[in-house]
Amino acid sequence: MPEHRLKPLTPLGHAAPETVTIGPLTITEVVTTALASLASRRGRAADVAAVAAAQGIPLPGPGRVAAGPTYTAFWLGPDQWMVEAPFASHEDIAAILRPAFADAASITEQTDAWARFDLAAADLPALFERLCGFDLRASPTDAATRTVIEHLGCYLVRRTDTALTIYGPRSSAQSLHHTLTTAARSVY
Amino acid sequence: MSQMNRIAGGQIDRGQTLRFSFDGQAFTGHAGDTLASALLANGVRLMGRSFKYHRPRGPLSAGSEEPNALVELRSGARREPNTRATVTELFAGLEATSQNRWPSLKFDALAINDRLSPFFAAGFYYKTFMWPAAFWEKLYEPLIRRAAGLGTLSREPDPDAYDKGFLHCDLLIIGAGPAGLAAALTAGRAGARVIIADEDFRMGGRLNAETFGINDAPAADWAAQTVADLAQMPNVRLLPRTTIIGAFDHGIYAAVERVSDHLAITPAGKPRQILWRLYARRAILCAGATERPIAFENNDRPGILLAGSLRAYANRWAVAVGTPTAIFTNNDDGLRTARDLIAKGVAVSAVIDTRAGGPKLPGTDHIQGAEVIDTAGRLGLTQITIRDAQGRTRTIPAQALGVSGGWNPNLNISSHHRGRPVWNDALAAFTPGPGGPQGLTAAGAAAGAFSTHAALATGAAEALAALADLGISAAQLDLPKAEDTPTAITPHWYVAAGKGRAWIDQQNDVTVKDVKLAHQENFRSVEHLKRYTTLGMATDQGKTGNMLGLAVMAELTGKTIPETGTTIYRPPYTPVAMGVLAGRSQGADFRPRRLTPSHRWAAEQGAVFVEVGMWLRAQWLPRAGETHWRQSVDREVLVTRNSAGICDVTTLGKIDIQGTDAGLFLDRVYANTFSTLAVGKVRYGLMLREDGMVMDDGTTARLGPNEYVMTTTTANAVPVFRHLEYCRQCLWPDLDVQLISTTEAWAQFSVAGPNARKLLEKLVDQDISDAAFPYMACAEITVCGGLRARLFRISFSGELAYEIAVPTRYGDAMIRELVAAGQEFDAVVYGTEALGVMRVEKGHVAGNELNGQSAALNMGLGKMVSRKKDAIGMVLSQREGMTRDGGLRLVGVKPVDPAKSLTAGSHFLALGAPSTAAHDDGWLTSVVFSPNLGHSIALGYLKNGTARLGERLRTVNLLAGTEVEVEITSPHFIDPEGARLRA
Amino acid sequence: MIINHPLLGPRDAQEFVYFGDAALIARPDGLSEGAEATFHDYLYLRDNPAGDHRELWYHEQGDRSWLVVTRNTLTHDITAVELARDVARHMGRGR
Amino acid sequence: MRYSGFRVIAEALTGHKGWTPAWRDPAPQPAYDYIIVGGGGHGLATAYYLAKEFRQARIAVLERGWIGGGNVGRNTTIIRSNYLLDGNEPFYEFSLKLWEGLEQDFNYNAMVSQRGILNLIHTDAQRDAFTRRGNAMILHGADAQMYTRDQVREMYPFLNFDNARFPIKGGLGQKRGGTVRHDAVAWGYARGADGRGVDIIQNCEVTGFRIEGGRVLGVETSRGYIGAEKIGVAVAGSSSRVMSHAGMRLPMESHVLQAFVSEGLKPLLDGVITFGAGHFYVSQSDKGGLVFGGDIDGYNSYAQRGNLPVVEDVCEGGMALMPMIGRARLLRMWGGVMDMSMDGSPIIDRTEIDGLYFNGGWCYGGFKATPASGWCFAHLLATDTPHPTATAYRFDRFRKGLMIDEKGVGAQPNLH
């Protein structure tokens, strides 16, 4: 993709992403992910599945995330997924995916609609029981769901037992970050 | 004379002496004390004044049912009025003050009310204070208000923080007494996820207050050991200092954990309390029972306590409330109190037992078939008067009197879903009935199983049953050995003797006489009784009094107690600090903020921001030397109209609509047609509600054959998206349409004004000449050497204008590029005020006109509603009331005298017509000052407006007493032909 | 309240937005004869039962599915939860 | 018996032996001229005014449970007439005027207390809307005042002016607004009606209507059949249930509205404050409890209880507005069932069935409307013509497109 002269800002409004450590917890602002929504057109589920398989795009079931070599995807809703890819190689992710799926799927760029915070700690459930009603303790390690955190609709995407991603509305990145750090200081 | 009433034993840590103060006087107590136990240990019985008569009062209980011992805890911004001394865990430096008295607790001027009590009978205020009418607010009510109320709230913001949290479990156990502990052991060992919560800081419930053993060890030790065992289980969560305040639908319980109320100061960053939302698949109510008093004359003096509480103070807190002590009981549990006190060497002057016969209690004067008929002692009990079986009366010295009228199961939470309790004759009490919260059962005393053995057994059994329900297999608990004393009670509710007052609800000063008056005046249903006498309306919610009132009413009506009514309870179980119910959503954090991509840049410029929904938007951007907002806004408008202006319009909702039926779908959700829109074109769309009113408006662009992007107003982005999903999933499920919001994905800027094209040409990589990119064109382009972007040639300002969108992360860079590119044109960045001015000058409707009460016809957009297709709202928009002539129409308005300024919200009245509703012709919706026209202009809804152009009217603002003569004009003040748009 | 989402399992009702009687799915044809009268009854009149009520909930803070929930308005007990799209198709709605 | 200060003193000195029942418990007669179904505030007020203002007749009020047990006994006690639309404002102003003379009229102290109501303004658009409203009020003969931020601060210095997410920019006030001791309203009307010969029959549930040839003849009840010339139904909260016995479907849904009261506190808040940006309104009762509420739960319900999210939402609003109430304690919460109508406004109208009249759809505006609702319903029952202030409250306004939609949210009851 051609070079341009514009310098990006992170969701928190800085030139470089922010990392904070509170006790055992690290909260990292992540800007290296490209996002696109992938929705199957009516009656084209099979085609979408086939293309996705060929492209190495996993299509997990409801409430789940699945990682592939390049693409990771989590379920958004019936016949709809969010596809993650490295920003460096896939900045224009929608343009990359569209040719492959042609008219079988609706693909929409979502990269900058979301602020991504990765959280890592040995006991994440201890933090999340102060944040939302999602039962992290009992959820599988490939859980991915949307829920409410302090009035904000966010996606929770589990990566491992001790690592998790929160996607929140980009415009509210500061409010969300404030909520996360406040809760962390309260818990740890 | 420090702690002169302290006796041996108990579960206080004598190694830790804590200093505290009450009404400024210094005292000491020990770790494990409550404020009440520490004060009683120091010989302080008088702790408060009653609500109505300001009677001297001491603690009635040793728990959360306490009606009397209410104090103001702490001071300054942390002052907590109405705090129960009986559940306030003592800490070093605790500061408490008595309340609802003046000048002092011992000498309270308002105690005069007590002398005047005959005039203050139940409901007296409904019968007087009516004349003259004006005196109510001016005289009577202020007096009443000043006298009423209990503690005083600080006027300063609460400095502490509160958390909210969410916990999930298979089994929630409410109460950690014998039943709760047995249930927890059973479920914990089975590997179930268990939460056991208790309001006390020491788990164990009554086991901490009794002298009998379990498995030959003291009951309290067994409880401590069991709690320790449970703490070792990773699947069991112990929540001490946690009150389950309510049962809500589908197994959701609210709990309040008092994290740091037992500390002098809440540690920084930590919460004072946490509101837990508990998701429990099953729950067992093991909340124990509350003892109830017997009503007799002057039964409210400091020193008169519930017998079981007196016992708890002696056994758990090593306090002899008064020596000698007497006991008044109608059941065997009262005798247990006497036995324990005697065993501890506390002199028991007499046991007055309402029951005749039966074995006599050794070591005291056990007077059977007798009643206490009066008491003495102004600020504290000194003696009681009794009447024996033969009717002889005599006085007996007593510094303390333990009263037991039997026990009521704490079924409160089981009635939170309005389930009716059932009457149990053997216990003379209500027990949990049907209709309780789904998945909730009761065990132990809460279920009427009063003996320790029965509590342990029912607790274990209910746990087994709950686990079986959930398909979790569990082993039968081998029950520890414990007392199994049967309940022996002969109901005796009140003493019918004397002319004096016998208290039922001690905090609200409701007496037996009040109940009799309510009956006499036909306030006989329980609800009428409560509301008329205020029985059970105090901070204790009638935990000790309701049953008594009901029993007295039953006797008066000659019905049984269950026929008369039941006592059901509402949440919360005990009063809850407002702060914890709000959690972190306070002050500036009340709701999240949404920031625009250019926020950082705008802040650097010193922009003034305004809340628009959750968004913060630049309202105007003052330049050096500008002292009034109008100067900035006028400049922003004029420069934009004469050269170029830039505005962040990211907040408008953006919805990506794709699919082979996308066009058809839009035809159905918009009043006008979109399937015919050419690719690469934009169209203004009008969206109706099904009732025919305008829901929202905005432009929708066709980016491809099967791809549209819709814009909504900032305010309606979410409701419109919801509505589209509804149409897609519920109304036309087989249309091939996919939706997703892209509002935040794109930073979108409007570039408007004669130089807009020249400005943009410096940035975009494509030809955007009028020929190549005409009015209402749109395209996916690149800017600044290759950054993907979207360009729309649309205009809200009425100028030659574009909206350019780039990925949000580049929004900050983009505004800086636009500003730089604009320098040669002296371009401005304008805020929402200038935006508003220009759209009014152009006659575009916005929020104030899109008020949900207006149809397309009212806005002059009636022709946009196509009748050829079935779109949402089309049919009902044609109803007679909405299409009749003479209805409201959107008009432009200008003052006849240009110097006059208009006020939005002013109403239209004909010249010379009186200012009455009959002549109300409509109102001004939006008012701005037009720097281009040099005067104030407005949009408004005017009856039959389109037919009245040129007419002169007056607009009145009666709130300010102002009036302006105006002329009605077209709403299009500037460039009505739209030549500038197409330039 | 907790709504047992057909795809996602039990979810706190706070994630949802309530709309109303599921009868609203049966939207009349706006081009038919006497549409104004049928639309009046459709949009404005309700059974409003004290008992089982089939109603529309939108999982706004979730997967954005519209659901038809059968809930008792006296006890709040929920006895069935279906995807509104499936219900609509059963009611004969399509394109 | 007439109540007065002298009477209270006299009775106090003679042991309160003279007080008589506030109302009788008569057995139902076989037939009445008028039957009012519903012994709530509106039903009792209707019977009272029918007997007092319109005609001497045989009148009965039938109540399923105990009188005053519906919304008149479970609300936040606010009275005001700060409405916007022509269909509403004259009616609510008429109601406020009746409140002002009520206690002397029915000889019962209902503690009508006009300590003022204040609607806070947080945005310019809100100020525009409130200016329109305030002017509409004055044009209809009501009182209204517009306050600046500083004036609001003077009145209520402890509100959050310095650290608010939604800054207070002013307020629209109505000095004649205030509160009333809600239970006393039901009792006062009941006593007044009873004194004028109205039979108030409690524990008498209407289970059906006897209708022949399009005309209603009487009601089937849990205490037998009772005939009547005219029957007026005023059972807000149960309207759909009761009217379904007459085969009618109504333009309304039943929703639960929660209300809350704090522990008793020394005087803190003089008037009523509504905080639109936070869904919160509050006043302080004469007993000292802060009485407050917010939005309805939002789902159809006949259970007189709500759920936790609204409790939290309301308290968040309270803390955002008055950050010092963090340490005040919530004492009790309860729920009332509202007839939420399709445009947020009520119905006082005849039905298609001769002799059957309906009063309902009060949403949560019912308490303040009690006197006018009773008066206008009595007027309709007695004269068969709508009272001049209630002419818009017709069933057919939805058919004609003449909705009275104060909030402008359309045919979605839970948004009104």
Q: Does C79 touch chain B (CB under 8 A)?
A: no
The number of folded domains in chain C is: 1
Question: Does B53 map to a domain?
Answer: yes
- Confidence at residue B294, expressed as pLDDT on a 0 to 100 scale: 98
The token pair that represents B398 in the structure block? 């007593």
Q: Which chains touch B (3 or more CB pairs under 8 A)?
A: A, C, D
Q: What 3 state SS string does D102-165 have?
A: HHHHHCCCCCCECCCEEEEECCHHHHHHHHHHHHHHHHCCCCCEEEEHHHHHHHCCCCCCCCCC
pLDDT band per the 50, 70, 90 thresholds, residue B180: very high
Contact at CB, D144 and B959, closer than 8 angstroms: yes
Which phi and psi (to 5°) does residue B939 adopt? -110, 150
Strands (E) located in D361-402: none
CA distance A90 to D72: 64
Q: Is D226 left (phi over 0), alpha (psi -120 to 50) or beta?
A: beta
- D133: which chain B residues are within 8 Å (Cβ-Cβ)? 905
Which residue on chain C is closest to A79 by alpha carbon? Answer: C63
Q: Which helix (H) or strand (E) holds B253?
A: strand B252-258
Q: Is there a single domain that holds both residue B460 and residue B495?
A: no
Best mutation site among B116, B153, B509 for testing chain D: the one with the most D CBs within 10 Å? B153
Residues B418 and B309 in one domain: no
Pairing of strands D199-201, B778-783: unpaired
Chain C residues whose beta carbon lies within 8 Å of the beta carbon of residue D309: 13-14
Instruction: Give the mean pLDDT of D233-244.
Output: 97
Return the residue matching tokens 């379904």: D244
Please check the confidence at residue A103 and state whether its pLDDT lies above 80: yes
Question: With an 8 Å Cβ cutoff, are C63 and A153 in contact?
Answer: no
Containing H/E element for B252? strand B252-258
Q: Taking residues D216-245, what's their average pLDDT? A: 98
Residues of chain C neighbouring B275 (CB-CB closer than 8 A): none
For chain D, what is the total number of helices (H) and then of strands (E)?
Answer: 10, 18
In the block, tokens 């005291």 appear at: B364
> How many other C-beta atoms can be found within 10 angstroms of the C-beta atom of residue D272?
27
Q: Which of B578, B851, B903 sits opposite D330 (nearest CB)?
A: B578
Asked if B575 has any chain D CB less than 8 Å from its own CB, the reply is: yes
Domain extent listing, chain A: 19-31+114-187, 34-109
Query: Which residue in the set D114, D134, D166 is minimally distant from B137, CB to CB?
Result: D114
Is residue C95 in a domain? no
Other beta carbons less than 10 A from residue B821's beta carbon: 20
Would you state the structure tokens that stand for residue B37, as one six-digit string? 């136990």
Contacts of B122 in chain D (CB under 8 A): none
* Residues of chain C found within 8 Å of residue B726, distances taken between Cβ atoms: 19, 56, 58, 66
Chain C contact for A140 (CB, 8 A cutoff) = no
Q: What is the mean pLDDT of chain B?
A: 97
Indicate if B418 and B282 belong to the same structural domain: yes
CB of B735 within 8 A of CB of B663? no
Last residue of a domain, one of B782, B814, B838: B838
Which chain C residues are within 8 Å of D238, Cβ to Cβ? Answer: 50
Q: Are B93 and B20 in contact (CB under 8 A)?
A: yes
Lookup result for tokens 């395209």: B779
Confidence of residue B130 (pLDDT cuts 50, 70, 90): confident
Average the pLDDT over B446-452 and give the result. Answer: 98
Could you tell me the CA-to-CA distances from B573 to B708, D261, D309, D331 in Å, in that order? 54, 14, 18, 9
CB contact under 8 A, A186 and B270: yes
Q: Which chains touch C (3 or more CB pairs under 8 A)?
A: A, B, D
Give B-chain residues touching C41 at CB under 8 angstroms: none
Check whether residue B320 and residue B397 sit in a common domain.
Answer: yes
Q: Are residues B301 and B413 in the same domain?
A: no
Domain for residue B126, yes or no? no
Residue B155 lies in a domain: no
How many whole angstroms separate alpha carbon B330 and alpha carbon B391? 18
Q: Does B205 share its domain with B228?
A: yes
In angstroms, rounded to a whole number, what is the distance separating the alpha carbons of residues D370 and D230? 21
Distances (CA, A) of B504 to B117, B549, B781, D60: 15, 6, 81, 36
CA dist B72 and B35 (Å) reads 12
| Summary mean pLDDT of chain D | 97
Distance from the D205 Cα atom to the nearest Cα atom in chain B, whole angstroms? 16
In angstroms, the CA B220 to CA B224 distance is: 6
Interchain contact, C48 vs D411, CB within 8 Å: no
Could you give the count of Cα atoms lying within 13 Å of A124 in the half-sphere of its Cβ? 25
Q: Do C14 and A77 touch (CB under 8 A)?
A: no
Asked if A146 and C12 come within 8 Å (Cβ–Cβ), the reply is no
B659 and B737 belong to one structural domain = yes
Q: How far apart are the first and last CA of chain A?
A: 44
- Asked whether the beta carbons of B894 and B868 are under 8 A apart, the reply is no
| Closest by CA position to B471, among listed B236, B253, B192, B182 | B192
Number of other CB atoms surrounding residue A41 within 10 Å: 23
The parent domain of residue C47 ranges over 2-90
The reported pLDDT for the residue numbered B568 is: 83
Place of tokens 């108990």: B10
Site from C43, C55, C74 to mutate, B interface, most B CB atoms within 10 angstroms? C43
What is the least distance, in Å, from the CA of B280 to any CA of chain C?
A: 11
* Complex-level ipTM: 0.98
Q: Is the pLDDT of residue B195 over 70?
A: yes
Residue B24 has pLDDT above 80, yes or no: yes
Residue D240 distance to chain C (closest CA, Å): 6
Residue B775 CA, distance from chain mean position: 52
Do residues B304 and B284 share a domain?
no
Task: Judge whether B611 is closer than 8 Å to chain D, CB to CB.
Answer: yes
Q: What distance, in Å, lies between the first and last C-alpha atoms of chain B?
A: 97
Q: Which has the closest alpha carbon to B435: B455, B459, B411, B454? A: B411
Stretch B80-109: mean pLDDT:
96
A63 in reach of chain C (CB within 8 A): yes
Q: Letter for the amino acid at A53?
A: A
Count of CA atoms in the C-beta half-sphere (13 A) of B359: 6
Q: What is the CATH number of domain A34-109?
A: 3.30.70.1520
Closest residue of chain A to C65, computed from CA coordinates = A77
Q: Are A130 and B163 a contacting pair at CB < 8 A?
A: yes
Instruction: Answer whether C84 sits within 8 Å of B730, measured CB to CB.
Output: yes
The stretch B284-296 carries a mean pLDDT of 98
Count of Cβ atoms closer than 10 Å to residue C78 Cβ: 18
Average pLDDT for chain C = 98
- Partner-chain contact C73 D303, CB within 8 Å: yes
Cβ-Cβ contacts under 8 Å between B and D: the total is 368
Which tens digits make up the pLDDT trace of B101-127? 999 999 999 999 999 999 999 999 999
Contacts of B870 in chain C (CB under 8 A): 29-31
Predicted confidence band at B423 (pLDDT cuts at 50, 70, 90)? very high
Q: Which residues of B touch C40 (CB under 8 A)?
A: 876
Strand pairing class (B594-595; B615-620): parallel
Query: Per the domain annotation, does B145 fall within a domain?
Result: no
Is the pLDDT score of B57 beyond 70? yes
pTM for the complete prediction? 0.97
Q: Which of B269, B87, B283, B261 is nearest to B167 (CA)?
A: B283
Position A2 scores a pLDDT of 54
3-state secondary structure of B545: coil
Range of the domain at B302: 290-406+490-564
Ramachandran angles phi, psi of B942, nearest 5°:
-125, 135
Answer whether B149 touches D (CB < 8 Å).
yes
Given a cut of 60, whether residue A1 has pLDDT beyond it is no
Measured between alpha carbons, how far is B180 from B466 in angstroms, rounded to an integer? Answer: 13
State how many domains chain B has: 6
Q: Which two tokens stand for residue D396?
A: 């057919």
Judged by a CB distance cut-off of 8 A, whether residue B424 touches chain C is no
> Taking CA D249 as the corner, what is the angle to CA D244 and CA D253, rounded to the nearest 5 degrees?
100
Q: Is B184 in the same domain as B244? A: yes
How are beta strands B161-174 and B271-285 bridged, if at all? parallel
Q: Tokens in use for B684?
A: 């203004």
C65 at interface of B, judged by CB pairs closer than 8 A:
yes
Residues 634-663 of B with CB under 8 A from C: 661
Query: Residue B1: is its pLDDT beyond 60?
Result: no
Q: Given this model, what pLDDT does residue B419 score?
A: 87
% chain D with pLDDT above 90: 98
For A19-31+114-187, CATH number out of 3.30.1360.120, 3.30.360.10, 3.40.640.10, 1.10.472.10 equals: 3.30.1360.120
Alpha carbon of D219: minimum distance to chain B alpha carbons (Å): 25
Angle of helix B178-189 versus helix B219-231 axis, rounded to 10: 30
**For tokens 């609204």, what's the residue?**
D310
Out of C7, C61, C64, closest to residue A147 by CB: C61
Judge whether B5 lies within some domain: no
> Which backbone phi and psi does D390 adopt, to 5 degrees?
-125, 25
Asked which of B128-132, B267-271, B412-416 is least confident by mean pLDDT, the reply is: B128-132
What residues in B contact C27, CB-CB < 8 Å? Answer: 690, 731
State the pLDDT at residue D277.
83
State the Cα–Cα distance between residues B160 and B273, nearest whole angstrom.
9
Which residues of C make CB contacts under 8 Å with D?
A: 1, 13-14, 18-21, 37, 40-41, 43-50, 53, 55, 71, 73-76
Span C59-82, average pLDDT: 98
The pair of three-digit structure tokens given for residue B95, joined into one six-digit string: 């500061």
Residue D340 pLDDT class (50, 70, 90 cuts): very high
Q: Which domains does chain D have, with CATH numbers?
A: 20-77+183-251+346-415 (3.50.50.60), 113-179+253-341 (3.30.9.10)
Q: What is the pLDDT of residue B2?
A: 84
Residue B110 touches chain D, beta carbons under 8 Å: no
Q: How many helices (H) and strands (E) does chain B have?
A: 22, 51
Based on the domain organization, do B773 and B637 belong to the same domain?
yes
For residues B45 and B101, membership in a common domain is answered with yes
Residue count of chain B: 983
Residue percentage of chain B with pLDDT more than 70: 100
> What average pLDDT score do residues B614-629 get?
97
Q: Minimal Cα–Cα distance from D411 to chain C, Å? A: 7
Q: Mean pLDDT over all residues of chain A? A: 97
CATH code of the domain covering residue B508: 3.50.50.60
* B351 and B385 fall within a common domain: yes
**D chain contacts of residue C37, beta-carbon cutoff 8 Å:** 399
In a domain, B704, yes or no: yes
**pLDDT single digits (tens) B325-363:** 999 999 999 999 999 999 999 999 999 999 998 899 999
Cβ proximity of D230 and D218 under 8 Å: no
Say which CATH number the domain at C63 has. Answer: 3.30.2270.10
B469-to-B440, B834, B940, D357 alpha-carbon distances in Å = 12, 65, 65, 51
With an 8 Å Cβ cutoff, are B145 and D286 in contact?
yes
- Which chains touch A (3+ CB pairs under 8 A)? B, C
Those chains having 3 or more beta-carbon pairs within 8 angstroms of chain D are: B, C
For residue B678, the 8-state DSSP code is P
Q: Does residue B278 lie within any of the structural domains?
A: yes
- CA distance, residue B906 to nearest chain D CA (Å): 6
- Token representation of residue B386: 């009794």
Cα–Cα distance, B701 to B773 (Å, whole number): 14
Mean pLDDT on C14-40? 97
pLDDT band for position B613 (cuts 50, 70, 90) = confident
Two structure tokens written together for B190:
């089975």
In a domain, B140, yes or no: no
> What average pLDDT does range A158-180 have in this prediction?
98
> To 5 degrees, how large is the angle CA D23–CA D24–CA D26?
145
Element (H, E) at A160: none
Burial (0-12, 13-18, 19+ Cβ within 10 Å), B600: middle
Q: Does C23 touch chain B (CB under 8 A)?
A: no
Interchain contact, D103 vs B130, CB within 8 Å: yes
Distance between CA atoms of B170 and D207, rounded to whole angstroms? 43
| Interface contact flag, B150 D407, Cβ < 8 Å | no
Phi/psi at C10 (5° precision): -60, 130
In whole angstroms, what is the distance from residue B901 CA to residue B903 CA?
7
* Model pLDDT for residues A15-24, shown as the tens digit of each residue: 999 999 999 9
Record the tokens describing residue B852, joined without a space.
Answer: 């949900």
Q: Which residues of B touch C69 (CB under 8 A)?
A: none
